[in-house]
Structure 1
Amino acid sequence: MKDLRQGSIKNHIVSLAIPTVGGGLAFTLFNLTDTYFVGKLGTQALAAMGFTFPIILISSAVSMGITTGTMSVLSRAAGRQDKKKMKRIATDGLFLSIVLVLFFSILGLSTMDQLFPLLGADQFTLPLVKDYMSVWYAGILVVLMPPMSDSAMRAIGDTMRPFIVMLVCAGLNVILDPIMIFGWFGFPAMGIQGAAVATVISRFFGMLTTLYFLGFHHKLIDLSRPKLSQLMTSWKEILQIGLPGMGVMLFPQLLRTVLTALAASVGGAAAVAAIAVGSRIEGFVNIAIQGIGSSIVPIVGQNWGAGLYDRVDTVRRLLNRYAIAIGLGSLAVIYVVARPLTSLFTQDPEVVAYVLIYLRWILIGFVGMNLYNWNGQALNAVGKTMWTLAINAGGTVMVMMPLLFVGSKISFTWMLAGLALGQVLVGFFSIGIGRKQLMEAESCNHTEGFVCCKEGLSEN
C-alpha cells in the first residue's frame, strides 16, 4: 500500500495520475480500434455502435457505483492501517459487483427489442445493435471485472498494476478486432459482432491479470467462506455509499442516452454516427482528466481516515484549479486535431461536420464537468455521496437536460451548446457545495471511524 498521508500532495497526484494516464491511453486505443474497424463497415454500423454506447455506459455505471462504495470504505480503512478490514471489503465488494452485473446481463438480453428502438434504432440499425449487444451482455462479467478490481488497487494507491491490466486488454483487442470483424486467418467474418467478441476475449485475459494482482500481490482477496452477518455488514457499508454512487454514475449516462435519442431525431443516422466517433476521440481528452480523477479517492480517503483534514482541503483547492486549466487546454488542442482525427474514422462529409460540432461544444462543457466530477469524488471519499448525487441529479434534471431539449428544437449545434452551458453552470455551483460539505463533515468527524451525523452516520 502506498502511504498518501505524508509528502507533497501535488507529487502524489502526479505519481498516481501518470500510470492512470497510461491506462487511459490504452483504454482509448481499445475503443478507437473498435471504432476504426467498425467504421470500415459503413455509416450504419457506426450508428449501431453509437446506439450501444449509452447502455454500455449505464451498465458500467451500475458496477462503478459499487466500486465507488468499495473504494471509499477501503481507502479510509487503509488510512487507519486496518488490514483485516481492507481484505474483507475488497473481497465482499467484488462478490456484490458480480451479483449485480449478472442481474443486469439477464435484464439486458431480455429487453433489446424494446429498448433500442426507443433510442432511435430503426430496421437497418437494430439488427446490428443486437448482433453486438447479445455478445456483450453474455460476456458482461468479464468485460466489467477488470475496472471493478482495478478500483480496489487504486484505493490503496496502486495505479501501476491497473495500467498493466489495460495494456493487456488493449493489446489483445488491437490484434483480435480485424481477425474477428473481417475474418482473417481463416476465422469467419463476423462484422460488428466480431468487435464484441474481441472485446470479451481481451477483457477475459484482463480479468485474469487483475485478479492475480489483487489476490497474490496485494493479498486483498479472501476466499474463505464469510459469516452471513459479516457479509451483510460489508455490503451495507458499501451500499450506503454505492447506491447513491450508482445514481451519480447513472445521471450522466441518462443524459448521454437522451443526447443520442435527440441526435437521432435532429440529424438521423449521421448524427448518431458522429456521436459514436466523437465519443471515441473525446476519450483522448479524458485521459488526463481520468488520471487526476483516479488520485482523488485514495488521497482524500487515506488522509480523511487519518484525521488530516488540512491536507484534504488542499486537495480540493488544487483540483478546482486543475479542472479549469485542463478544460481550457483541452479545448485549444481539440480545435487543432479534431478534423484530422475524424478523417481516420469516416469520410462521410455529413458525419465529419457533425463530429466537429460535437467535439468543440463538448470540450467547452468539460470545464464544468471536471469541476462537478472532481468535487463529487472528494465527497465520495469521505462518505458524503448523497451530496454528490444531489449535484449530479439536480444539475442533470434541472439545468443540463432542459437546456439540451431547448437547443434540440433549434439545431444540432444549439443542442450541444445548451448542454455545454449547463455543465459549466453546474460545475461552478459544485465548488461551493464541495467546500461547504467537506468543512461540515470535518466538524462532525472528530471521533475516529465516524462520518458526519447528517449523512445517516455509521461507524466505519
Structure 2
Amino acid sequence: MFAITIFNLTDTFFVSRLGTEALAAMGFTFPVVMVIGSVTMGMAMGAGSVLARAMGRGDHHLMNRIATDGILLSILTVIVVSAVGILTMDPVFRALGATEETLPLVKQYMSIWYVGVIAFIMPPVGDSAMRAMGDMKRPLIVMLVCAVLNMILDPILIFGLFGFPAMGIAGAALATIISRAAGMVTTLAFIHFHYRLIDFRYNGISELLTSWKRILHVGVPAAAVRLFPQLLRAVLTSIAAAVGGVSAVAAIAAGSRIESFATIISMAVGIALIPVIGQNWGAGRLDRVDRARALLNRAAIGYGLLITAIAIPTAGALARIFTTDPDVILHTRWYLWIVLPGTIGLNLYNWTSEQLNAAGKPRWVVIINVVGTAAILIPFTVIGSRVGGFVGMLVGLCTGQWILGYTATRIGKRELEPTAPEPAPQAVPPAAV
C-alpha cells in the first residue's frame, strides 16, 4: 500500500504544478477511478478469499482454476469498463460538478486512462493470488517498481523533458498506464512461472462459470465495501463543487492524497487480513480469528488518534506541498483537521468488513455498506453541508463514520466470535460444493 500511495501522491504533486484547475480536474477524476478500482479490488478480494480457503484445505486444483478464471473475469470487466467509460464521460463528470474550464482537462486524462484500463484492472487479481499464498514480498516489489517508474515518467511526459512533448495532465495519465502495464506483465510472470497458478487447459464453460460464481460470491460484497465509500466520495466532490467551487474540489484532491498517505498502515492491514482470517477460518481456528478481531478494534482507535495528533500542527505545511493558492490551502487544512479523526470509525468499519469477507460472510458486508452509506454517511454529509457549507459537510462525514464504525464492530463481534455459527454454508455458493 505504501507503493500505491506514493504512486497517487506523485501524480497529484506534479499535476498541481499545472495550476488549481488541473488539480481540481484530478479531483473530479478521483471518484470515477476509485469506483472502478473498487470493482477491481472486489474481484481481487473474491479470488483471494477463495484461494486462501482452498489453500487451507489443500485443494490445489481449485487454486489453479480460481487464479486463471479470475484473470479471465478481469479481462471481461476491462471490455465493459472501457466501452461504458468512454461513452459516458461528459454526463458523468458534469454531474460531479466539472465546469467548462475543468471538463476538457478531465477528458484529456480519462480518455487515455480508459484506453489503458486493463493495466489498472488486471494486476490486483494477480497480486491477491500471491497474497493468498502468503507472499507479501512480490506484490510489494511489483508496486515499488511501478511507483518508481511513474515518478520518472510523470515529469517527463507532463512537462516535456528530454525532447518529449509537454502533454500536461494527459501525460500523467499516460505515465500511469505505462507504469501499471509494467506491473501487470511482472505480476502475470510471477503467478505463472513461480507459482504455476495459471492453467491454460480449457475445462468447459460450466467450470469457468462455477469459478466466477465462487469469486463473485465474495467479490461482489467486497466490491460493495469499496464501491459505496467511493459513491460517497462522488457525492462529496459534487457538494464541494457546489458550496466551494474549484478551490474546494482541488482541496479534496490534495487532502484525500494526504489522507491516503496518513492511513497507509490501515490500508495495508486491510489487505493482509484476507489470508490471515481466511486461512484460520478455513482451518476452524475461530479462537485466533476472535483474538485478531479484538486486537484490530483497539488498533483502529489508537492509529486514528495518532494521525489526528500529527495532522493538527502540520496540516497547513502539508497543503502547501501541493498548492500556493490560499483558498485551496485553507480548504485543505479544514479537510485534514476534520476528516482524519473520522478514520477511527472508517478503520473499524473497513477492517470488520474485510474480516467478514475473508470468513465467507458477505451478506453482512452488503448490509453494512448499503445501510451505512445510504442511511448514515450520505445524509449526515448532505445535512452538514446545508448547515455549515464545506466545513459542515466534513463534520457530517466524520460523525457518520464514527457511528458506522461502532455499528460494524458490533456486527463483527456477533458473527466472528467462536460461538458464531459455523462458516461452511456461507463460505462458497451451493454450486461450488
TM-score tier after normalising by the smaller chain length: over 0.9
Which contiguous aligned blocks of 4+ residues in structure 1 show a shift greater than 6 angstroms? none
Mapping of 1:14-163 within 5 angstroms? 24-163=1-140
- Of 116-125 and 430-439, more deviation after overlay is shown by 430-439
Cα distance per residue 1:186-214 (max 9 Å; x no partner): 11111100000000001111111111111
Cα distance per residue 1:279-313 (max 9 Å; x no partner): 11112112111121122110110011111111111
Measure, in 2, the Cα distance between the counterparts of 1:73 and 1:441: 23
- Of 24-33 and 323-332, more deviation after overlay is shown by 24-33
* One of 228, 237, 255 as aligned partner of 1:251: 228
Q: Which residue of 1 aligns with 2:248?
A: 271
* One of 396, 400, 404 as aligned partner of 1:426: 404
Q: What code does the residue aligned with 1:451 have?
A: P
1:451 aligns with 2:428: no
What's the TM-score, normalizing by structure 1? 0.91
Mapping of 1:167-206 within 5 angstroms? 167-206=144-183
Q: Which residue of 2 aligns with 1:362?
A: 339
Cα distance per residue 1:378-418 (max 9 Å; x no partner): 10011111101111111111111111001111221111000
Deviation at 1:362, TM superposition (A): 1.1
Mapping of 1:236-247 within 5 angstroms? 236-247=213-224
Partner SS state of residue 451, structure 1 = helix
Deviation at 1:457, TM superposition (A): 5.5
* One of 302, 305, 308 as aligned partner of 1:331: 308
Partner SS state of residue 41, structure 1 = coil
- Of 60-69 and 170-179, more deviation after overlay is shown by 60-69
Measure, in 1, the Cα distance between the counterparts of 2:172 and 2:223: 27
- Of 407-416 and 237-246, more deviation after overlay is shown by 237-246
Mapping of 1:385-400 within 5 angstroms? 385-400=362-377
* One of 394, 400, 411 as aligned partner of 1:416: 394
- Calculate the aligned-residue CA RMSD, in Å: 1.5
- Of 412-421 and 149-158, more deviation after overlay is shown by 149-158
Partner SS state of residue 205, structure 1 = helix
Q: Which residue of 2 aligns with 1:165?
A: 142
Measure, in 1, the Cα distance between the counterparts of 2:308 and 2:66: 40
Q: What code does the residue aligned with 1:58 have?
A: V
Q: What code does the residue aligned with 2:397 have?
A: L
Deviation at 1:458, TM superposition (A): 6.1
Percent identity between the two aligned chains: 53
Partner SS state of residue 419, structure 1 = helix
Q: Which residue of 2 aligns with 1:401?
A: 378
Deviation at 1:220, TM superposition (A): 1.3
Report if the CA contact (8 A) 1:441-1:451 is conserved. Answer: no
Measure, in 2, the Cα distance between the counterparts of 1:217 and 1:387: 36
Deviation at 1:167, TM superposition (A): 0.8
Report if the CA contact (8 A) 1:39-1:45 is conserved. Answer: yes
Distance 1:359 1:238, change over 3 A: same
Report if the CA contact (8 A) 1:382-1:451 is conserved. Answer: no
Measure, in 2, the Cα distance between the counterparts of 1:328 and 1:230: 48
1:295 aligns with 2:269: no
Q: Which residue of 1 aligns with 2:238?
A: 261
* One of 283, 289, 292 as aligned partner of 2:260: 283
Measure, in 1, the Cα distance between the counterparts of 2:407 and 2:138: 35
Report if the CA contact (8 A) 1:47-1:269 is conserved. Answer: yes
Deviation at 1:439, TM superposition (A): 4.2
Cα distance per residue 1:99-154 (max 9 Å; x no partner): 11220111000011111111000110000000000000000001222222111111
Q: Which runs of 5+ in 2 are unaligned?
A: none
Q: What code does the residue aligned with 1:45 have?
A: A
Q: Which runs of 5+ in 1 are unaligned?
A: 1-23
1:315 aligns with 2:292: yes
Measure, in 1, the Cα distance between the counterparts of 2:285 and 2:218: 21
Measure, in 2, the Cα distance between the counterparts of 1:34 and 1:444: 46
Measure, in 1, the Cα distance between the counterparts of 2:314 and 2:183: 31
Measure, in 2, the Cα distance between the counterparts of 1:380 and 1:41: 41
Report if the CA contact (8 A) 1:29-1:170 is conserved. Answer: yes
Q: What code does the residue aligned with 1:178 have?
A: P
Report if the CA contact (8 A) 2:287-2:417 is conserved. Answer: no
Cα distance per residue 1:347-399 (max 9 Å; x no partner): 00000000010111111110000001101111001111110111111111111
Report if the CA contact (8 A) 2:65-2:199 is conserved. Answer: yes
Distance 1:38 1:368, change over 3 A: same
For these two proteins, the number of residue pairs brought into alignment is 432
Q: Which residue of 1 aligns with 2:358?
A: 381
Q: What code does the residue aligned with 1:40 have?
A: R
Mapping of 1:345-360 within 5 angstroms? 345-360=322-337
